[in-house]
Amino acid sequence: MAWRNTSTFAVLRETTLREQQVDLPVAVDRAAPTPLVVQVSDQLRAAMRDGALRAGERLPSSRSLAGLLGVSRTVVTEAYQQLYAEGWLDGKHGSGTYVADVHAVEGGAARPPEPDPESNPPPHAPDPGLIDLRPGRPWVTAYDTAAWRRAWRAAGDLPMSAWPDLYGDPPLREALADHLRRARAVPAGPNDVLITRGTGNGLDLLAATLLKPGDRVGVEEPGYRSARRIFASRGAEIVPCPVDGDGLIVDDLPDGLRMIYTTPAHQYPTGGRLPIPRRERLLAWARATGALVVEDDYDAEFRYDVAPLPALYGLGPENVVLLGTLSKSLSPDVGVGWLVAGRPLLDRIARTRKELADRTSGPVQRAVAILLDRGDLDRHLRRMRLEYARRREAVVAALGPWTKGDTAGLHVLAELPEHVVPEVVAGARERGVLVDTTIRHHHGPPRVHGLVVGYGSAALHDVRHGCGIVRTLLDHALQET
């Protein structure tokens, strides 16, 4: 039969492949020292890399493969989850598990991630094959796309609004208030929440509402460069406020600040977690001076081996504005964040928003509300905590003696002697590994020197390989000095 429509043939061929289930070249050895989960995932990964398993082919169910191998279903499920997180597998619960496009991970390198607009990416995306260990980029491949499609279809069935709510869609505000209460001990109701397009949008709305040209705004040093730029664009004078290993140094705050921007859950980029006594002193300072504390809770969902610390907002809501975003927990492409504050301030921000014709997409808000109501976002966060914990362990294992700030978030600081940093960065780039440094995170002369290593967007095997290269370069550079 001659096919005239090649695109139709391609679709039919893909459908046929997805309907076929293959016999897997997998065996386990209970006497071997390697854990069974690792045996299964390693053999499947090798089969996909070598072409024994091809893109689109369907794998047996976890129950079926567990029976064939004589292992528990948990072993197969964890192996599948690992490969899915690395991008080797595709498919969702209830619809089968399939081999993903092999070309996306061929040669052990993950598909280059999309740049995160909030993490100051380079003007051009990295070349294919590079391992990107820069901070600020989440792992978006592992999200349950079937859940997102269900939420989007359900949101599409809801009527459109002729006059969007300046505070945000009420169902989403209610769902987020409940989420923040459970996840961050934030005592906020729906009327305390305003929906934004992300942290940058929230910062700009705050600055446009509260700041006058020449107002002094404190920003952590080193700290989030985009925050400095946003405040400066509204005419503020940026005042660097030093940090140490625990975060913002509260006892040395300058006089005359109108507001101060801080990242207490996981200081960006050093990784410090602001201790409770220092949080209390910061709030006491805010009450005494009348300054507003702007708390960026950008990746507080991810913490490892430590108990959560309460959000600053929960300790002193009258002096704090809490900013959050789905950029790290879900994807920057969603474009949804939140601003939590007292109602009088939210009313002022809403008026500013009306003047600026600023709004967040209504259909996207409804879809996110559905994800929250159905528990899909919570399930995604639980999966990603486990996945990011594995990558974090790989980074610490490779760079252990120099790593700091590894108890939370999606990056660590490798504090190093100043003179070795350029050599390590250049050598890593030549070997296909991208890493960030602390230099661009300073407003003034650099106070902290080292590498900012992100593990959010690279697959686990790439994190291990990339950090191994960095460690080799680092050992060589230190031996020469």
What integer is the mean pLDDT of 103-121? 37
CATH number, domain 148-377: 3.40.640.10
Query: Are the beta carbons of 41 and 89 closer than 8 angstroms?
Result: no
**Spatial separation of the C-alpha atoms in residues 171 and 176, rounded to whole Å:** 9
Contacts of 465 (CB under 8 A, 6+ apart): 108, 131
| Least-confidence region, from 114-128, 194-208, 228-242 | 114-128
What class does CATH assign to 131-142+378-480?
A: alpha beta
Residue bearing tokens 């594995």: 390
Residue 110 has pLDDT above 60, yes or no: no
Query: pTM of the prediction?
Result: 0.73
Please tell me what DSSP assigns to residue 323.
E
Position 101 confidence tier, pLDDT thresholds 50, 70, 90: low
| Exposed e or buried b per residue across 35-68, where buried means at least 16 C-beta atoms within 10 angstroms of its C-beta | ebbebbbebbbebbeeeebebbbbbbbbeebbee
Output 331 or 207, whichever has higher pLDDT. 207
pLDDT at 10: 34
Please give the helix or strand (H or E) that residue 58 lies within, else none: strand 58-59
- Token readout for 238 is 């940026």
Q: Which CATH architecture has domain 6-108?
A: Orthogonal Bundle (1.10)
What integer is the mean pLDDT of 27-56? 81
Extended strands (E) in 235-348: 237-244, 247-248, 257-262, 292-296, 320-325, 337-340
pLDDT at 251: 93
pLDDT at 262: 97
Residue bearing tokens 């139709």: 8
Query: Are the beta carbons of 129 and 105 closer than 8 angstroms?
Result: no
- pLDDT tens by residue, 246-265: 999 999 899 999 999 999 99
What integer is the mean pLDDT of 287-294? 97
| Least-confidence region, from 38-52, 108-122, 449-463 | 108-122
- Token readout for 165 is 């709510």
pLDDT at 91: 64
**Residue type for position 275:** P
Please give the helix or strand (H or E) that residue 221 lies within, else none: strand 216-221
Q: At 342, is the secondary structure helix, strand, or coil?
A: coil
Count of other CB atoms within 10 angstroms of residue 100: 20
**Spatial separation of the C-alpha atoms in residues 269 and 248, rounded to whole Å:** 12
pLDDT at 248: 97
Of the candidates 255, 236, 308, 238, the one whose C-alpha atom is nearest the C-alpha of residue 279 is 308
Position 156 confidence tier, pLDDT thresholds 50, 70, 90: confident
Count of other CB atoms within 10 angstroms of residue 407: 16
- Token readout for 396 is 């610490």
| Exposed e or buried b per residue across 229-263, where buried means at least 16 C-beta atoms within 10 angstroms of its C-beta | ebbeebebebbbbebeebbbebeebeeebbbbbbb
- pLDDT tens by residue, 204-228: 999 999 999 999 999 999 999 999 9
Residue bearing tokens 């977690």: 273
Output 25 or 294, whichever has higher pLDDT. 294
Residue 231 has pLDDT above 90, yes or no: yes
Output 260 or 116, whichever has higher pLDDT. 260
**Spatial separation of the C-alpha atoms in residues 198 and 339, rounded to whole Å:** 9
What integer is the mean pLDDT of 356-366? 93
What integer is the mean pLDDT of 8-33? 55
**Domains 6-108 and 131-142+378-480 alike in fold:** no
Residue bearing tokens 């004078």: 237
What's the CA dihedral at 420, 425, 427, 430 to 10 degrees?
-170
Residue 108 has pLDDT above 60, yes or no: no
**Spatial separation of the C-alpha atoms in residues 460 and 37, rounded to whole Å:** 15
Output 128 or 175, whichever has higher pLDDT. 175
Count of other CB atoms within 10 angstroms of residue 449: 17
Output 261 or 306, whichever has higher pLDDT. 261
Average pLDDT of the chain, as a whole number: 85
The percent of residues above 90 in pLDDT, for the chain, comes to 56
Q: Is 23 exposed, middle or buried (0-12, 13-18, 19+ CB in 10 A)?
A: exposed
Residue 48 has pLDDT above 50, yes or no: yes
Domain range summary for the chain, segments of one domain joined by +: 6-108, 131-142+378-480, 148-377
Of the candidates 295, 304, 350, 303, the one whose C-alpha atom is nearest the C-alpha of residue 325 is 295
Residue 9 has pLDDT above 50, yes or no: no
pLDDT at 112: 34
| Least-confidence region, from 100-109, 166-175, 191-200, 340-349 | 100-109
